[in-house]
């Protein structure tokens, strides 16, 4: 969340329960992932290594169900490397799953893509 906002809450409402919503948690995780990716890209360039992370920002930040076929193959290849960025990406997915965030199907919230995996045109949204 925005630092001045958090500071104001601490000062004026010290006893208040402050809850971060899913949107802000995911936004923070995406920002952290992008910072890790950018730092690692700079480091690899300085060391003269192959630019495997070049043009990978949106591969890592997009939801998997929104990736095109070529992007999916590129992401799959990228995930084979033992990089900090890959570990951060995988950790982000695990954390999202523990929060109960939908990773795949936006309707039922299951960790799958109902249309692609099962041929369902319309799945039932779960009650939250």
The secondary element (H helix, E strand) that includes residue 98 is: helix 84-99
Q: What is the pLDDT of residue 105?
A: 47
pLDDT digits (tens, 9 = 90+) for 35-92: 999 999 999 999 999 889 988 998 898 888 888 999 999 999 999 999 999 999 988 8
The pLDDT of residue 51: 87
- Nearest one of 76, 98, 81 to 29, comparing CA atoms: 98
Q: Is the entire prediction scored with pTM above 0.75?
A: no
Exposed (0-12), middle (13-18) or buried (19+): which is 36, by Cβ within 10 Å?
buried
Q: What is the pLDDT of residue 118?
A: 45
Percent of the chain predicted with pLDDT > 70: 70
CA distance 128 to 116: 24
Return left, alpha or beta for 100; rule: phi > 0 is left, psi -120 to 50 is alpha, else beta: left
Asked if 32 and 40 count as a contact pair (C-beta separation under 8 A), the reply is: no
């Amino acid at each position: 969340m925005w630092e001045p906002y958090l500071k104001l809450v601490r000062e004026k409402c010290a006893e208040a329960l402050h809850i971060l919503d899913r949107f802000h948690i995911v936004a923070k995780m995406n920002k952290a992932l992008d910072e890790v990716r950018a730092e690692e890209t700079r480091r690899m360039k300085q060391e003269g290594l192959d630019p495997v992370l070049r043009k990978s920002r949106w591969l890592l930040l997009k939801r998997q169900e929104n990736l095109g076929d070529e992007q999916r193959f590129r992401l799959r290849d990228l995930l084979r490397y033992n990089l900090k960025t890959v570990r951060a990406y995988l950790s982000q997915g695990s954390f999202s799953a523990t929060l109960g965030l939908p990773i795949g199907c936006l309707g039922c919230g299951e960790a799958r893509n109902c249309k692609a995996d099962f041929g369902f045109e319309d799945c039932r949204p779960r009650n939250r």
